[in-house]
Amino acid sequence: MTVLHILAYASVAVFIVAVAVRAIRLATTPVHLRWELYPVAHEKDKVSYGGSYFEEKDWWTKSQKKSLFGELKVMVPEILLLKGVWEHNKPLWLWSFPMHFGLYLVIGFAALVLVTAFTGTQDGLGAVLEQIGLAVGLVGYVLGTVGALGLFGYRLFSRKTRGFTPPSAYLNILFLLALFATGLYMFAGVDHPSGALAAFGRDVFTLGAGAAPAGAVAAHLGVALLFMLYLPFTHMTHFFTKYFTYHSVRWNDEPNHPGSKLEAAIQRQLAYPVSWSAKHLRADGKKNWADIATDTEVE
Amino acid sequence: MTMADKVKVKDISKHPERQLTHIDPQDLMPLPPPYDKVDEEPKWKAIKQEQKDAVVSNLDDTIALGFPKPKTKEEEDELVRKFLSGLEKLLTRENNWTFLQPLLLSLEHCAKCQTCNDACPIYEASGHNDVYRPTYRSEVWRRIVAKYIKPGGKFFGAFKQGDIELNWTTVSRLMELSYRCTLCRRCAQTCPIGVDNGLITHELRKVFSQEMGIAAKEIHEKGSVQQLKVGSSTGMTPLVVKDNIEFIDEDMFDKTGIKIETPWDKEGADVLLIHNAGEILAWPENPGAFAVILEAAGISWTLSSDVVAYDGINYGLWYDDFQLARVAIKHAEAAKKLKVKKIVIGECGHAHKALTVIADRVLQGDLNVRRESAMTLLEDIVFSGKIKFDPSKNDFPVTLHDPCNMVRLMGIVEPQRRILRYLAPQFREMTPHGVDNYCCGGGSGFAIMSPFNFQDWRLSISGRKKLKQVLDAFADCPGPEIKKYLCAPCSNCKGQLRDLFQYYNVWEKSGILYGGLVELIVNAMVDVKEPFIEWEFH
């Protein structure tokens, strides 16, 4: 087993575990107070202007009309095209979009390489997929390199971000730049990059111990696997935590109906002991949240 | 290059005796004529040196809290220790289940792209002063958490979030800085990731209040504490409020010819109406107009004379979860006691959000009384045919201010507009409007805060963008000879707009009056013979 094999197993394992831990940690935080922001995308009839069910007289007597399609209409352009950045920060979008879209294409390339690792590429579907993968990969690496270079410059020279960018943010971009640049180098220097990558992928998946690729392919694989190992410990986990920021906070308009599961969950939380120190709260670490909220004696 | 360009995040910890930034009138966002001359910009009230020496005053050219300076190094260290202990509690399930998940998301996932900055009316109006970026205080907070709370922060904190030194200078400036944001959350609306820097201001204020017992006097001592003690932040006891309402009823009869006897504590009424009690003292025509409309429409309604329940304000919304819950529970208890079908909240944006949205998950069991906005009830009445209207009585230019709490943060956008489109022939929108509106500049308690020269700050900076918007909305009739009406269905917004218009002589220069929605509705009633709206600035 080569160093690259070990790195591949370690990266995948750490990535999955670290992402799962973070997702579980966020998903199991207590039910919070409502903090939505309009427009709420699943609001069926009023989303065009940001309205809510609170516009209805006796709103609690009417069933809430939710639209999954409405959420998709916001999320798909947001994820694929970075619509929010386009609307609110075009100079950033100029670089952020190619970097993100380039990354999506590179992930697509990796997925196609893995598929062809098992279908083969001699003829039929496998051959077609390999050609598509190569095209997607090449475009992805070019876009990504341009985007990462631009982002680095933007961070460094824009008055908006200069002084507000910590060292880790620069490292993140440099890491991405290395990922894309080594990919481009691989395409430039290796005749049949997807073949070598597919062979390695097949070997890893079948727990083989064959020889690892060398040269430009090995360099690219090494950077990509190290990036995978690094990513879950950075703010770049927004690729999945964005689900929570939108669905659990920004669009969370679920009312607390009497007798609901939501009410039961909150009831449990009202029993949490409180240890805030300010005098007016009269908390002692033993009184619970409900005790303090109902203690309205004024000194 | 101005002073503002030079302020870095880590500067907040340095040079304790110096102001971190300075506000130069030349830097402020220009206003349209005739408000565009920098030398005619109102002069700020000077703060005496002895006042500056006595209280924390090292952030900018104003003071919001007036917190006494610690006298010894030990006192300073104790305050820093308490601050850190508060930050730790903020990140625990038990102490902060109320906002833990949104807080963690905003703590850990900001890409520091600064996209949100341009959405902030304070940052823009200040001439892009770095200290007023929505990200400035959040970055300080993230750096402190990364370095002083997260495991390994001493080694990796500076690399991960950027360097910061936690000392009394940092804490004292952060304390003031948490009162330089109106919590309008316009910044959060533009964040592609969903990070909410407005929430971080809210949570910082909680650390100061819930752990250190530090909050703006106007919203704590004179606000929620006084409300819980005597019944209202205005100081009105149940007896006084009843007297005042009786006087308003008589005044309404004089003005409209309609006999009004406001019902108190009527058991089993359909509607328990809760006003912001500030209306009763400052704008009595507003609760009066409500009474006229409800009586004319034959609504079964009542006010409550229970302590707290005749004042819809809930300042805890801006700084303290427990004060919020205490007041909300009192409101719900009064409704439960009277066995009303629902609570209807009058023209007060933060009261809307506090009782309907934020307290929704605090009110349990039979305290979960149904709650609704006055906007929907009014819309229902106006279009029910129960009252006859003559919209030509409102034939003057009207624009609408969207209170952030009611609109961006609750999604109540159209009912008030449908009323205005029907009853105000010259209604026009501001740009932008609805959920994209700008705050009046008085949000998060600012409208009632005027210590030292804080009023100068909140009018010339935090209210500047709204003033520009209002003037732009009436750009086709700018002079004072055409009287214009700014409809602001929110008591706090009206307080800010009153001060803003006085500060810039808007009534004299532009002829713009501000007021609520119900006044326009009564003004258009056929049965009300004399004009209800009096074109006098007050």
CB neighbourhood size of B497 (10 A):
27
Helices (H) and strands (E) in chain B, counts: 23, 8
- Mapping DSSP to helix (H, G, I), strand (E, B) and coil, where does residue B55 land? strand
The phi, psi pair for B390, rounded to 5°, reads: -125, 95
Using the 8-state DSSP alphabet, how is residue A207 labeled? T
Q: Is A273 on the interface with B (CB under 8 A)?
A: yes
State the best of B128, B361, B404 to mutate against chain A, taking most chain A CBs within 10 Å: B361
Distance CA B108, CA B321 (A): 23
pLDDT of residue B371: 98
Q: In this structure, what token pair is assigned to residue B344?
A: 């209807």
State the best of A89, A164, A277, A279 to mutate against chain B, taking most chain B CBs within 10 Å: A164
Q: Which residue carries 């579980």 as its tokens? A: A24
* Subunit contact A164:B321, Cβ cutoff 8 A: no
- Element holding B513 (H helix, E strand): strand B512-515
pLDDT of residue B116: 97
Among the residues of chain A, which ranges form H helices? 3-27, 68-81, 83-88, 90-119, 124-157, 167-189, 193-205, 215-230, 238-243, 261-269, 289-293
CA nearest to B405 within chain A: A37
Q: Is A270 on the interface with B (CB under 8 A)?
A: yes
Parallel, antiparallel or unpaired: strands B426-428 and B484-487: unpaired
State the best of A42, A74, A276 to mutate against chain B, taking most chain B CBs within 10 Å: A276
Quote the minimal CA–CA distance from A222 to chain B in Å.
Answer: 23
* Subunit contact A57:B160, Cβ cutoff 8 A: no
* Subunit contact B372:A54, Cβ cutoff 8 A: yes
User: Interhelix angle for A167-189 vs A124-157, to 10°?
Assistant: 140
State the best of A22, A38, A83 to mutate against chain B, taking most chain B CBs within 10 Å: A38
Quote the minimal CA–CA distance from A282 to chain B in Å.
Answer: 10
* Subunit contact B413:A55, Cβ cutoff 8 A: yes
Residue B6 pLDDT level (bands cut at 50, 70, 90): confident
Please choose, from the candidates A206, A151, A207, the residue with its C-alpha nearest in 3D space to the C-alpha of residue A174: A151
pLDDT of residue B338: 98
* Subunit contact B162:A26, Cβ cutoff 8 A: no
Q: Is A285 on the interface with B (CB under 8 A)?
A: no
> Over the stretch B149-166, which tens digit does the pLDDT of each residue have?
999 999 999 999 999 999
pLDDT over 90 (residue B112):
yes
pLDDT of residue B538: 77
CB pairs under 8 A between A and B: 270
Using the 8-state DSSP alphabet, how is residue B179 labeled? T
- Mapping DSSP to helix (H, G, I), strand (E, B) and coil, where does residue A39 land? coil
Could you tell me if residue B452 is left (phi over 0), alpha (psi between -120 and 50 degrees) or otherwise beta?
left
> Over the stretch A135-161, which tens digit does the pLDDT of each residue have?
999 999 999 999 999 999 999 999 999
Contacts of B120 (CB under 8 A, 6+ apart): B132, B133, B134, B186, B187
Quote the minimal CA–CA distance from A205 to chain B in Å.
Answer: 32
Burial class (CB in 10 A: 0-12, 13-18, 19+), B506: buried
CB A43 within 8 A of CB A67: yes
pLDDT over 70 (residue B4):
no
Least confident of A41-55, A206-220, B77-91, B137-151: A206-220
Average of per-residue pLDDT across A264-284: 97
CB B491 within 8 A of CB B401: no
pLDDT over 70 (residue A282):
yes
> Over the stretch B492-530, which tens digit does the pLDDT of each residue have?
999 999 999 999 999 999 999 999 999 999 999 999 999
Q: In this structure, what token pair is assigned to residue A43?
A: 């609001």
* Subunit contact B225:A281, Cβ cutoff 8 A: no
Higher pLDDT, A214 or A81: A81
Kindly list the residues from chain A whose CB atom is less than 8 angstroms away from the CB atom of residue B159: 166-168
CB neighbourhood size of A286 (10 A):
9
> Over the stretch B63-87, which tens digit does the pLDDT of each residue have?
999 999 999 999 999 999 999 999 9
Residue A39 pLDDT level (bands cut at 50, 70, 90): very high
* Subunit contact B109:A235, Cβ cutoff 8 A: yes
Q: In this structure, what token pair is assigned to residue A187?
A: 């395409």
Contacts of B423 (CB under 8 A, 6+ apart): B382, B389, B391, B394, B520, B521, B524
pLDDT of residue B1: 39
Burial class (CB in 10 A: 0-12, 13-18, 19+), B18: exposed
CATH architecture of B229-380: 3-Layer(aba) Sandwich (3.40)
> Over the stretch B286-306, which tens digit does the pLDDT of each residue have?
999 999 999 999 999 999 999
Amino acid of residue B101 = Q
List the domains of chain A with CATH numbers.
3-31+82-250 (1.20.950.20), 261-293 (no CATH)
Quote the minimal CA–CA distance from A174 to chain B in Å.
Answer: 15
- Mapping DSSP to helix (H, G, I), strand (E, B) and coil, where does residue A49 land? coil
Distance CA B350, CA B495 (A): 13
Please choose, from the candidates B83, B65, B67, the residue with its C-alpha nearest in 3D space to the C-alpha of residue B207: B83
When computed from its CA atoms, the radius of gyration of chain B, rounded to whole angstroms, is 23
The overall average pLDDT reported for chain B is 97
When computed from its CA atoms, the radius of gyration of chain A, rounded to whole angstroms, is 25
Distance CA A74, CA A89 (A): 17
pLDDT of residue A124: 84
pLDDT of residue A65: 86
pLDDT of residue B5: 54
pLDDT over 90 (residue A191):
no
Quote the minimal CA–CA distance from B326 to chain A in Å.
Answer: 5
pLDDT of residue A299: 59
Please choose, from the candidates A286, A57, A278, the residue with its C-alpha nearest in 3D space to the C-alpha of residue B206: A278
Contacts of B240 (CB under 8 A, 6+ apart): none
Domain assignments of chain B as residue spans, ordered by start: 3-211, 229-380, 388-523
Average of per-residue pLDDT across B346-372: 97
* Subunit contact A78:B110, Cβ cutoff 8 A: no
pLDDT over 90 (residue B3):
no
pLDDT over 90 (residue B236):
yes
pLDDT of residue A298: 64
Contacts of B447 (CB under 8 A, 6+ apart): B440, B458, B492, B493, B495, B496, B499
> Over the stretch A65-114, which tens digit does the pLDDT of each residue have?
899 999 999 999 999 999 999 999 999 999 999 999 999 999 999 999 99
Side-chain-side CA neighbours of A139 within 13 Å: the count stands at 12
Q: In this structure, what token pair is assigned to residue B247?
A: 């006087």
Distance CA A154, CA A88 (A): 16
pLDDT over 90 (residue B335):
yes
pLDDT of residue A270: 97
* Subunit contact B94:A274, Cβ cutoff 8 A: yes
Residue A267 pLDDT level (bands cut at 50, 70, 90): very high
The overall average pLDDT reported for chain A is 95
pLDDT over 70 (residue B169):
yes
Q: In this structure, what token pair is assigned to residue A169?
A: 């943010």
Could you tell me if residue B445 is left (phi over 0), alpha (psi between -120 and 50 degrees) or otherwise beta?
left
Parallel, antiparallel or unpaired: strands B342-345 and B301-302: unpaired
> Over the stretch B192-226, which tens digit does the pLDDT of each residue have?
999 999 999 999 999 999 999 999 999 999 999 99
Q: C-alpha B492: how far from its chain's center?
A: 6
* Subunit contact B190:A87, Cβ cutoff 8 A: yes
- Chain A, residues 80-99, CB within 8 A of chain B, namely 82, 84-85, 87-89, 92, 96
Q: How far apart are the first and last CA of chain B?
A: 41
pLDDT over 50 (residue A297):
yes
Distance CA B531, CA B524 (A): 8
Amino acid of residue B220 = H
